Amino acid sequence: MASFASRRLQKERAEWRKDHPFGFSAKPMANPDGKGQNLFRWICGIPGRAGTPWEGATYKLTMDFSEDYPGKPPKCKFVFVNGKVLFHPNIYPSGTVCLSILNEDEDWKPSITIKQILLGVQDLLDNPNSASPAQAEPFQLFTQNKEEYLRRVKQQAKDVANGGQKLFRITVVVDFMTPHTVLLATTKPFAKDAVDAIKLICEEHGLLFEKLEGYKDRAELYEAVASAEACIVRSDVCDEEFFSHAKKLKVLVRAGAGVDAIDLPAATNHGVCVQNTPGQNSNAVAELAFGMLLAHKRNHFDGNSGTEIRGSSLGLYGCGNVSRFMILAAQGFGMDIYAFDPFLTPDQIADLGAEPLYDVPSIFKCDVVSLHVPATRETKRSIDEKLLRSMPKGGILINTARKDFWVHVRQIIQEADLLQALAERPDLSYLADDKPDNTEEIKEALGASRVKKQFLVTPKKMGAQTAQANSNSGIAAAKQIVEFFRGGLVKHQVNINGKHF
């Protein structure tokens, strides 16, 4: 018997065929095996309005529905243009549309139709919402240099009209008679409860579960992944050689947010959909950051008097999932909280409980600065000597951000500048989840007595090393694999057109 979501989508399809706006298109995508259509994934076309810089092109957009539809809205993503995200202030780097009627916590209603969604997105194209920025460069140009913004939009329209939008698809040939094999492959074992939960989810949905934990040799991994169609990993390296051995692999899910150890272009070239599970480890990372801060302020509990954090100022650079938990903890300790995020408006930051600041240098005036931005082209090596020197007396810099595994210069701190700042300023401290590449040089420059007072780092990335985060991320990964095989849903996909964003 068809589910409620399926019946609603069938009705939507019939209504669209009967009547739809001129120039628009919307239909379920064909199944990869060529048999029938996938009602839960649609490909749509939105024409640019005449008389606007968007005219002359039809913009492709995918709609992914879940079994919770219409209780929950579909996820709408624009197809990339020549390998780049659609240039618009309200389109996230992933291509996802930021629109209130597509947010179940804002204006989404079960009565909203596909036709209404597409008309709403068309209106958004030429009428960006400056109160909800999702993409930094177009937002800045739209608000500060309208002429250049319009020029970029017109050029994009020409690119789209000339065939620049090509849909990236992972080919999945589904054999309903043969269960899919899911491999849990990790050098760092999951908690037993997490493994049991992952196995249960797989088996409840007819998937075969296999486990390879604590492997010492890459050959073991290559042998195990050869027969897997889905794989769950943690911080395991998945490179070209890995994918060349994974001939049957269709989906790889990183149990956690960071995908720095996965070669995304290689995955794309081998037709593997890569996903992550953002938000599952956020509280664990925030607790680690505060734990390190408290230990440092109490001199590592060596018996000497320390200092309190109440009344100190905390500056958050980046205001995502981890920062939200940092704010809650800081409120409990009575800290003054400030934040800057180029993708959030001042009102959005204020709603989270922090006082908004308007640039990175302002954040570095706080007593404690905590970094929560990814290593991207925009942020790489952005924390330099000038910012470090600007920190107040007794300043503490906390870094729980990740490096890029493949391009090591894509770390947000210039580590040579960090060494120099710490050496020149005995009052400055650095606390980090994962030691910098020049750790030994820093220790040598400071000497044993100053290292204890200024430098506290974990031996490896440990922010997510809690039983709860372990379980949450593993369960989320298993559920995403089920959704992938059941309906082709690519929730939290991170390799679109081979781009790492």
Kindly indicate the confidence band of residue 175, based on its pLDDT and cuts at 50, 70 and 90: very low
Catalytic residue among 98, 231, 273, 366: 98
Q: Tell me, which fold does domain 4-161 have in CATH?
A: Ubiquitin Conjugating Enzyme (3.10.110)
**β-sheet with 25-30: strand ranges across:** 25-30, 37-47, 58-64, 75-78
Which residue is associated with the tokens 């492709």?
Answer: 60
User: pLDDT tens, 290-317?
Assistant: 999 999 999 988 888 999 999 999 999 9
User: pLDDT tens, 456-466?
Assistant: 999 888 888 88
Q: How far apart are CA 71 and CA 76, in angstroms?
A: 16
pLDDT of residue 376: 67
Contact 103, 73 (CB under 8 A): yes
Lowest mean pLDDT among 262-266, 394-398, 469-473, 491-495: 491-495
Tokens standing for residue 97: 């549309």
Q: How far apart are CA 145 and CA 141, in angstroms?
A: 5
**CATH architecture for the domain at 282-457:** 3-Layer(aba) Sandwich (3.40)
Contact 188, 235 (CB under 8 A): yes
Kindly indicate the confidence band of residue 257, based on its pLDDT and cuts at 50, 70 and 90: confident
CA atoms within 13 A on the CB side of 133: 19
The pTM of this model reads: 0.62
349 φ, ψ (degrees, to nearest 5) = -65, -40
pLDDT of residue 32: 65
Cis peptide before 73 (omega within 30 of 0): no
Q: How far apart are CA 454 and CA 426, in angstroms?
A: 7
CATH 3.40.50.720 in the chain is located at: 181-280+466-500, 282-457
Q: Residue 496 in 3-state DSSP?
A: strand
CATH 3.10.110.10 in the chain is located at: 4-161
Q: Give yes or no for residue 174 having a pLDDT over 60.
A: no
Does the active-site annotation cover 98? yes
Q: Give yes or no for residue 203 having a pLDDT over 90.
A: no
Average pLDDT estimate for 255-273: 89
Q: Which residues of 67-96 are buried (b: 16+ CB within 10 A; e: fewer)?
A: eebbeebbbbbbbbbeeebbbbbbbbebbb
CA atoms within 13 A on the CB side of 332: 8
H or E stretch including 61?
strand 58-64
CATH 3.40.50.720 fits 181-280+466-500, yes or no: yes
Long-range contacts of 247-252 (CB under 8 A, 24+ apart): 248/181, 249/225, 250/170, 250/172, 250/484, 251/170, 251/275, 251/481, 251/484, 251/485
